[in-house]
Amino acid sequence: MSKLRFQKWCTQTWPEIYRYSYYRVRNREEAEDVTQETFARVFSQESFKGCSSADLTAEFPSLNYLKVTALNIIRDRWRRRKARGNEVGLEEILLSEDEDLQRLLDKAVLEEILQKLTEDQQMVLRLRIIEGYSRAETARKMAKSEAAVRGLQYRAIQNLRVLFLESLKEGNESENQS
Amino acid sequence: MKTSPEELNRQAAEERLDRIIDLFNQERDPSKTLEIELHPGSEGEGKDLGLEDVAIVRILRSLRPQAEPSPGFGAKLAKLFTTEQTGKKAAPKKNPFRIGVFAACILLVFAFTFWNNLFKGDVVLAMEKAVQKLSSYHGIMEMTTENAQGEKWLVRQVEIWYQGDKYALRQNGETLTVNNGKQKWQVRERDKEVAILPLVPDYTKQGFALRDEALRAKQYPHTIVGQEQVAGREAHKLKISPPGGEPYYLWLDVATNLPLKLQTAMQNALQTTYTFVSFEANAEINPQIFTLKVPEGFKVIEEDPGQLVATVREAIHVSEITPLLPQEVPQGIYAFPKKIVLDYGETSIIETPASLPWEPAGFGAWGELNGQPVEIIRDRLRWQQEGLEITVEGPRSLELARQIAPDMILPDKDTDLSSQAQVKVPVDMEIVRNDQKQVDAGHTPWQLDPLYVSVTFVNLLVTPEGIVGEPKIPYEDFKIGKNTGKEAIVEVLSGPVSKVYLKRLVRQDESGIWTVVGYDQR
């Protein structure tokens, strides 16, 4: 396999894998690490190393294969860091292809769940996480102290955790009934 | 009072969540930094909670656009594996040729690093010279926009013919704007009309985005970051970093040193790219394009084109104002009702009756003439003198302004005003830098005006709970005392504060925001 051909294939495919990884991990550094590890894993495979066919499609793995590899890498990374297996880990929402879990990533569904929080809690999550402001900026915009912002965002996340789990439970129950 | 262990645990969890959010906001992998806290094997409820927090933040972040990968990530990736492959093959045998290649690589890296440092100025200088030397060109420039999801669309396509003081621009194949040095007009296909436009001042000419932006590269720090192909031509890729702003990129033709492409920073999840998809320097241009011809069925409309007059006396007669004149004779005099324009090529002087009260823009620097402020914004000076409002705009503005107003005092940027403040206001530079980015992206433009910044600051001192309705100390009570372009003093006529001291902390030009650094109590 020529260096040029590998570069060409890599250049064509990495943006898709980066986007796919970012969709799950939601930060640039991790998405880049996962993308790099995906190519490293594919690159180290015996079947891949040995091939010398002139046909590009036969020589390089498909995009779907790369995506599955990327997803497995994310799973492995997150599993390594997990203290113990608990019931439905919320990270499963980001990893699973299951529609019921994926539903929570839908903008409308997420907004609906956010609406159940108090106005201050919604505001602090919007400013800190969605808009990306620092704690100091958020405190200034909300006319609160930084300590109050820290406490408020903590309570908001805790409440959101309960709401997510409830939503997942509701989804399971309606599935069982049907 | 002793803090309970539960309280301490809660505080630690709050602090950890806060750090997780910060790391995500910096687009960093939170688990890398928080590895110790999240590592398996440790006891306690907080560990799982930490992971759940990370998951919830990730889910919430699906409501914001994806971040682009780091610049050069793709190239680095492709190179990484091809290098690994070469390395594996090379390992079994060492031969002089490979050592030679290795030495050559080191030499190349060395040369490239030094070339960057030694010649970066020359590339920009060469570009400036090349742009100045250009006698004619014909090109097609495309403006495309791309969003954070990587979707790209064409916003505009402009075909440009340029020769000496003449130019013609066709936008999206429809509107044709022509200035042949004697007349300016616009052929509007959709409305079936030809509009005759004022010849001077010509803002269209100043709006060739690529060329103007290219010249900005000079004033900001810049580095060559690589070489790429643009529209089939080899081009140097320049990274330009405005202080406190997001970097943007400019591509210069290796052969001609002319700018070929400009890419703005991603702002509001949108990024704009201007590219000359075709460009022919010193091209032969059909003179017909610069000749006014009204197509059949088109009506002609005149948009206050003024008239070229031969003498100042004639101009006074048409405009009914008596202009103040520099010693240098203009190339042309244009008279409009209540307006005279003196044409000096790339620089124009516009004189109109003075409107009162005289209020220069706060975002510019302020000079002084006979106790009155002179507004300075880039190469434009504006002031009032003897019942006239005079604007001089263009590269020779200062020289010509001095011929009309020899006593004009320009601001000294190095004057230290803020040290006189009785009360110093602490500044969080992280907030200031973020505010600057917000303004760069088109939000809260009032931060560019020291008056508005002062009104907000003083009224928040008076009513710390927030400004509801009209501010207690009204805008009219704030006047700019001094403005060097870098520092400013705003005088306040009522309330507990008599003076507000401000600085442009991130960038010291018209695009830099003002921050309050101190004040005097009344």
* CA–CA distance, A38 with A71 (Å, rounded to integer): 9
B-chain CB neighbours of A82 within 8 Å are 40, 48, 51
* Res A56 pLDDT > 50: no
Q: Are B491 and B479 in contact (CB under 8 A)?
A: yes
Q: Does the residue B455 lie in any domain? A: yes
Tell me phi and psi for residue B170, to 5 degrees.
-115, 120
User: Do A44 and A106 share a domain, yes or no?
Assistant: no
User: Do B337 and B261 share a domain, yes or no?
Assistant: no
Choosing from B33, B59, B85, the residue where a domain stops is B59
Q: Does the residue B242 lie in any domain? A: yes
User: Do B269 and B325 share a domain, yes or no?
Assistant: no
Q: Does the residue A85 lie in any domain? A: no
Q: Name which of B17, B69, B81 is nearest A153 (Cβ-Cβ).
A: B17
The strand pairing partners of B195, in sequence order, are B186, B301
pLDDT at B382: 92
User: Do B170 and B266 share a domain, yes or no?
Assistant: yes
User: Do A72 and A8 share a domain, yes or no?
Assistant: yes
Tell me whether B80 touches chain A (CB under 8 Å): yes
pLDDT at B399: 87
* Res A159 pLDDT > 90: yes
Task: Please answer yes or no on whether A81 and B40 come within 8 Å at the CB atom.
Answer: yes
Tell me whether B414 touches chain A (CB under 8 Å): no
Choosing from A45, A80, A115, the residue where a domain stops is A80
Task: Please answer yes or no on whether A15 and B150 come within 8 Å at the CB atom.
Answer: yes
Q: If you average pLDDT over residues B133-153, what whole number do you get?
A: 77
User: Do B200 and B277 share a domain, yes or no?
Assistant: yes
Tell me: the pLDDT tens digits for B344-358? 877 889 999 998 778
CATH code at position A124: 1.10.10.10
Q: Does the residue B502 lie in any domain? A: yes
pLDDT at B214: 63
* Res A114 pLDDT > 70: yes
User: Do B355 and B424 share a domain, yes or no?
Assistant: no
Other Cβ atoms less than 10 A from the Cβ of B275: the count is 19
Tell me: the pLDDT tens digits for A5-38? 676 778 788 888 998 999 899 999 899 999 988 8
- Range(s) of the domain holding residue A155: 92-177
User: Do B347 and B396 share a domain, yes or no?
Assistant: yes
User: Do A121 and A169 share a domain, yes or no?
Assistant: yes
- Per DSSP, the three-state class of B483 is strand
Q: Which residues contact B264 (CB under 8 A, 6 or more apart)?
A: B248, B271, B272, B273
Most confident of the following: A59-73, A89-103, B2-16, B200-214: A59-73
pLDDT at A155: 94
- Range(s) of the domain holding residue B489: 418-521
Q: Are A15 and B94 in contact (CB under 8 A)?
A: no
pLDDT at B212: 61
Residue B398, burial from CB neighbour count under 10 angstroms (0-12, 13-18, 19+): middle
Q: Name which of B51, B70, B80 is nearest A28 (Cβ-Cβ).
A: B70
User: Do B315 and B366 share a domain, yes or no?
Assistant: yes
Q: Name which of A33, A130, A136 is nearest B64 (Cβ-Cβ).
A: A130
Q: Does the residue A71 lie in any domain? A: yes
User: Do A70 and A100 share a domain, yes or no?
Assistant: no
* CA–CA distance, B252 with B263 (Å, rounded to integer): 12
- Rounded to the nearest angstrom, the minimum Cα separation between B244 and chain A is 16
User: Do B145 and B264 share a domain, yes or no?
Assistant: yes
B140 to B43, B167, B227, B279: CA distances (angstroms): 66, 13, 22, 7
User: Do A105 and A73 share a domain, yes or no?
Assistant: no
User: Do B156 and B255 share a domain, yes or no?
Assistant: yes
User: Do A18 and A67 share a domain, yes or no?
Assistant: yes
Q: Does the residue B244 lie in any domain? A: yes
Closest by alpha carbon to B281, among B188, B163, B383, B389?
B163
Identity at B78, one-letter amino acid code:
A
Q: Does the residue B108 lie in any domain? A: no
Q: Does the residue B225 lie in any domain? A: yes
* CA–CA distance, B116 with B225 (Å, rounded to integer): 8
In this prediction, residue B204 has a pLDDT band, given cuts at 50, 70 and 90, of low
User: Do A29 and A98 share a domain, yes or no?
Assistant: no
Tell me: the pLDDT tens digits for B259-281? 888 888 876 566 778 888 887 87
Choosing from B404, B438, B472, the residue where a domain stops is B404
Q: Are B250 and B209 in contact (CB under 8 A)?
A: no
Q: Does the residue A86 lie in any domain? A: no
Tell me phi and psi for residue A118, to 5 degrees.
-70, 160
Q: Which residues contact B340 (CB under 8 A, 6 or more apart)?
A: B315, B316, B319, B321, B323, B333, B334, B350, B351
Q: Name which of A29, A82, A133 is nearest B27 (Cβ-Cβ).
A: A29
* CA–CA distance, B516 with B499 (Å, rounded to integer): 11
B-chain CB neighbours of A6 within 8 Å are 78, 81-82, 85
In this prediction, residue B246 has a pLDDT band, given cuts at 50, 70 and 90, of confident
Q: Name which of B24, B51, B77 is nearest A81 (Cβ-Cβ).
A: B51
Tell me phi and psi for residue B494, to 5 degrees.
-140, 170
Structural domain count of chain B: 4
Q: Name which of B27, B74, B84 is nearest A14 (Cβ-Cβ).
A: B74
* CA–CA distance, A144 with B465 (Å, rounded to integer): 10
Q: If you average pLDDT over residues B83-100, what whole number do you get?
A: 34
Task: Please answer yes or no on whether A81 and B86 come within 8 Å at the CB atom.
Answer: no
Q: If you average pLDDT over residues B42-53, what whole number do you get?
A: 52
User: Do A71 and A100 share a domain, yes or no?
Assistant: no
CATH code at position A55: 1.10.1740
Q: Does the residue B258 lie in any domain? A: yes
Identity at B407, one-letter amino acid code:
D
Tell me whether B426 touches chain A (CB under 8 Å): no
* CA–CA distance, B389 with B323 (Å, rounded to integer): 10
B-chain CB neighbours of A39 within 8 Å are 77, 81
Task: Please answer yes or no on whether B69 and A29 come within 8 Å at the CB atom.
Answer: no
Q: If you average pLDDT over residues B483-492, what whole number do you get?
A: 89
* CA–CA distance, B45 with B12 (Å, rounded to integer): 12
Tell me whether B467 touches chain A (CB under 8 Å): no
User: Do B239 and B374 share a domain, yes or no?
Assistant: no
Angle value at C-alpha A34, between A29 and A37, nearest 5 degrees:
125
CATH code at position B273: 2.50.20.10
User: Do A41 and A113 share a domain, yes or no?
Assistant: no
User: Do B257 and B333 share a domain, yes or no?
Assistant: no
User: Do A75 and A96 share a domain, yes or no?
Assistant: no
pLDDT at B84: 45
Q: Does the residue B492 lie in any domain? A: yes
A-chain CB neighbours of B35 within 8 Å are 81
User: Do B135 and B274 share a domain, yes or no?
Assistant: yes
Structural domain count of chain A: 2
* CA–CA distance, A138 with A148 (Å, rounded to integer): 10
pLDDT at A81: 62
pLDDT at B317: 85
Residue B52, burial from CB neighbour count under 10 angstroms (0-12, 13-18, 19+): buried
Closest by alpha carbon to B238, among B127, B81, B329, B321?
B127
pLDDT at B201: 65
* Res B403 pLDDT > 60: yes
- Rounded to the nearest angstrom, the minimum Cα separation between B269 and chain A is 12
- The mean pLDDT of chain B is 77
User: Do A26 and A101 share a domain, yes or no?
Assistant: no
User: Do A72 and A14 share a domain, yes or no?
Assistant: yes
Task: For chain B, positions 43-72, list CB contacts with chain A under 8 A.
Answer: 47-48, 51-64, 66-70
Name the residue of chain A whose CA is nearest to B74's CA.
A11
Residue in A157, A162, A164 to test binding to B, most B beta-carbons within 10 Å:
A157
pLDDT at B392: 93
Task: Please answer yes or no on whether A125 and B41 come within 8 Å at the CB atom.
Answer: no
In the β-sheet with B136-147, what is the strand arrangement from edge to edge? B222-230, B233-240, B248-253, B259-263, B270-281, B136-147, B152-163, B166-171, B175-179, B184-188, B193-197, B299-302
